Chain A
Amino acid sequence: MIAIIPDILLLLFPFLMLAFKLFLTQAQTAHKNFAFAYLFILLICQNFVLIGDTQVYFSNWQIDTFGIFMREIFTLSALLALLLSENYFKHSMSEKPKLFHFSEFAASIGFATFGGVVVVSANDLLTLFLGLELATIPMYALVAWNKRDSEGTEAAIKYILMGSVATAFELFGFSYLYGFAGHLTFPEIAQALQTNQASPLIWISVLFIISGIGFKMTLFPFHLWAPDVYEGAPTPVTAILSVTSKSIAIAFLTVLVFGPLNAIHQEIVPFLALLAGITLLAGNLGALSQSKLRRFMAFSSISQAGYILIALLGNSPEGKYAIIYYLFLYTFSNYLAFFIFSTISKDQSETFISLNGLSEKSKFLAIALLIALMSLAGIPPLAGFFGKLQIFTAAAENKHYFLILFAVLNNVLALYYYIQVLKSAWIDKPAKEIALSVSTKQKTIILILTLSVLLLGFLPFLSNNLSIALL
């Protein structure tokens, strides 16, 4: 009965934030501190949920080990996004007007996080669909949070049009899946798939579902909205889009592919492999010629989505484990990069040029940036390398050597553009001096994130514990 308590606490969080806004109008900083403390305590609570057999509540709320780890990733991402957004509510950043309404902002993030939790606990198609929508609808509002910034509104329009079309595709796919199986619950769909496989209905359904979720996960033919939306949205929202929204989409695919569709896993795999390969290449090629940091992070996260998709080619426990480990280090590295971008963008926009001379102004920030980007690129002693290793091992078990080779070669491309960012931080001289002001709080967070990225790489036994829990 214990395992469901953190979920209920998470569901309470947005309502508490809204209630505070209504009844305690004066205490602005108290709101913020309450939100940070609440999510931090929630994260600790989630760590104490015992990992063990799958537990089922209310007939379709299913908590398994994969779900518990994904919950931690979502909560961690929400906490870091709120910490990142703090400065954006204080003054204008990155040449955009300052944000307002922190409580509602936190509540929307809370709802989106709960949507992710619903996705990983779903045991039937209806719950899965509701979870995904609960996770995306607040995101549309978050992108348009800055009403006075016309770029943000435009980005939100693009996002909501694309997202609604994607939802229609998913719903259409679900309707065929329901027509094929005659039931909505996962065990019965799996059973129907095992008894009669050769129906064209199931292929149409899978095609629709994957193209629908491809929009949200920014897979290749559907990735074009990402750079515009990531650039137009406020920076904390960009961070949460690239981490929470993407992990929810990946969790959705994992739940489906290793759950009800496991019987046709071998038949879906070539399709996924093709998507993963092209997504990698498209993301990497797009990132080569960027000059704005958020646009660059969009393309970088597209190629990261390609890497994570490779893990789905493996078998169930190893593939899931690789996905969780990679998402953890992706969360840490990505937020580390975004925190550093937020420190330089107080009086200037977030471009490669504003990074110039960072190594002279603050060695600490420059080294943290080095660690974040090298981890994203996958350089050996850092966490990113072990994450990619796990993903490739999972895929190698099913003998997808060609795709792995392609992904490794792509990594060389990726290294080029990550080093370009480092070049502008370490080598290029700034045109004019702009003083850097970093608060102690920001420094502490950056230090903690840097240590986490280092430790995840240097202490492989941490990941071994994870694998023992899961395998």
Chain B
Amino acid sequence: MTLLHCLILAFILFTIGIFGVLTNRHLIGMLISIEIMLNAANINFVAFAYFKAQDPTAGTLFSIFSIAITACEMAVALAILIAMYRKHHSLDVNTQEINHE
């Protein structure tokens, strides 16, 4: 396993995440796709820290911090989703539009 393998894996995960956000019609699915994108960046950080960087502690720390931040972000997102579910009784983006009309 080399640095290149990890970078390619991270890039593929990031692309899967973008594809998921664009095509998923369910809000939870979109959140999961976003999580995949964020974790792809974390893989990058850890890979660079392990193979290349002069300052490896900083990179690993960054990934830990970003995991914590992501958790906060998802907590807020889920809170908003619950508020939405109480209004519309659905988390599907397509049916949202119909309800709104």
Whether B14 lies near A164 (C-beta < 8 A) is: no
Q: How far is the CA of A157 from the CA of B93 in the complex (A)?
A: 10
Q: Which residues of B contact A182 (CB under 8 A)?
A: 48, 52-55
**Residues from 13 to 62 in B contacting A, C-beta threshold 8 Å:** 14, 17-18, 21, 27, 30-31, 34, 37-38, 40-42, 44-45, 47-49, 52-55, 58-59, 61-62
Min Cβ gap B6→A in Å is 10
Which listed residue (B14, B18, B83) contacts A144, Cβ 8 A? B83
Whether B80 lies near A126 (C-beta < 8 A) is: no
* Per-residue B-contact encoding for A121-152, CB less than 8 Å = 1, 0 else: 00011100110010001001100100100100
Whether B83 lies near A140 (C-beta < 8 A) is: no
Closest to B47 in A: A179
Q: Which residues of A contact B8 (CB under 8 A)?
A: none
Q: Which residues of B contact A154 (CB under 8 A)?
A: 84, 96, 100
Min Cβ gap B10→A in Å is 8
Whether B38 lies near A184 (C-beta < 8 A) is: no
Is B76 an interface position by the 8 A CB rule?
yes
Q: How far is the CA of A130 from the CA of B14 in the complex (A)?
A: 21
Of A167-175, A267-275, A358-366, the segment with at least 4 beta carbons within 8 Å of chain B is A167-175
* Per-residue B-contact encoding for A206-245, CB less than 8 Å = 1, 0 else: 0000000000000000000000000000000000000000
- On whether A164 and B69 interact (CB within 8 A), knowing A141-B79, A178-B48, A184-B55, the answer reads no
Min Cβ gap B8→A in Å is 13
Q: Which residues of B contact A141 (CB under 8 A)?
A: 76, 79-80
Is B12 an interface position by the 8 A CB rule?
no
Which listed residue (B38, B52, B96) contacts A179, Cβ 8 A? B52
Q: How far is the CA of A107 from the CA of B11 in the complex (A)?
A: 38
Identify which of A129, A156, A157, A164 gathers the most chain B CB atoms within 10 Å of its CB.
A164
Q: How far is the CA of A168 from the CA of B54 in the complex (A)?
A: 24
Min Cβ gap A260→B in Å is 14
Is B77 an interface position by the 8 A CB rule?
yes
Q: Which residues of A contact B55 (CB under 8 A)?
A: 182-184, 188
Closest to B44 in A: A175
Closest to A148 in B: B87
- On whether A178 and B81 interact (CB within 8 A), knowing A129-B66, A172-B41, A183-B58, the answer reads no
Min Cβ gap B93→A in Å is 9
Is A160 an interface position by the 8 A CB rule?
yes
Whether B76 lies near A157 (C-beta < 8 A) is: no
Interface magnitude class on chain B? 35 or more
Min Cβ gap A181→B in Å is 8
Whether B80 lies near A178 (C-beta < 8 A) is: no
Min Cβ gap B60→A in Å is 11
Whether A178 lies near B77 (C-beta < 8 A) is: no
Q: How far is the CA of A175 from the CA of B61 in the complex (A)?
A: 12
Whether A183 lies near B54 (C-beta < 8 A) is: yes
Whether A183 lies near B53 (C-beta < 8 A) is: yes
Identify which of A157, A171, A183 gathers the most chain B CB atoms within 10 Å of its CB.
A171
Whether B73 lies near A133 (C-beta < 8 A) is: yes
Q: How far is the CA of A448 from the CA of B48 in the complex (A)?
A: 53
Q: How far is the CA of A156 from the CA of B27 in the complex (A)?
A: 12
- On whether A126 and B62 interact (CB within 8 A), knowing A160-B77, A168-B17, the answer reads yes
Q: Which residues of A contact B41 (CB under 8 A)?
A: 168, 171-172, 174-175
Min Cβ gap A196→B in Å is 13
* Per-residue B-contact encoding for A165-202, CB less than 8 Å = 1, 0 else: 10111011011101100111000100000000000000
Q: Which residues of A contact B42 (CB under 8 A)?
A: 171, 175
- On whether A137 and B48 interact (CB within 8 A), knowing A126-B61, A147-B83, the answer reads no
Is A450 an interface position by the 8 A CB rule?
no
Whether A172 lies near B37 (C-beta < 8 A) is: yes
Q: Which residues of A contact B53 (CB under 8 A)?
A: 178-179, 182-183
Q: How far is the CA of A161 from the CA of B62 in the complex (A)?
A: 22
Whether B87 lies near A153 (C-beta < 8 A) is: yes
Closest to B75 in A: A137
Query: What are 8 A-B contacts defined by CB distance under 8 Å?
Result: A130-B65, A137-B72, A154-B96, A164-B34, A172-B37, A175-B42, A178-B48, A184-B55
A178-B58, A182-B53 are known contacts; what are 13 more A-B pairs with Cβ within 8 Å?
A130-B69, A150-B88, A153-B83, A160-B76, A161-B21, A167-B38, A167-B69, A168-B41, A174-B62, A175-B44, A175-B48, A178-B49, A182-B54
Measuring CB to CB, which residues of chain A are less than 8 angstroms from any residue of chain B? 124-126, 129-130, 133, 137, 140-141, 144, 147, 150, 153-154, 156-157, 160-161, 164-165, 167-169, 171-172, 174-176, 178-179, 182-184, 188
Q: Which 6 A-B pairs have the closest CB atoms?
A: A175-B44, A168-B37, A179-B48, A171-B41, A182-B54, A182-B53
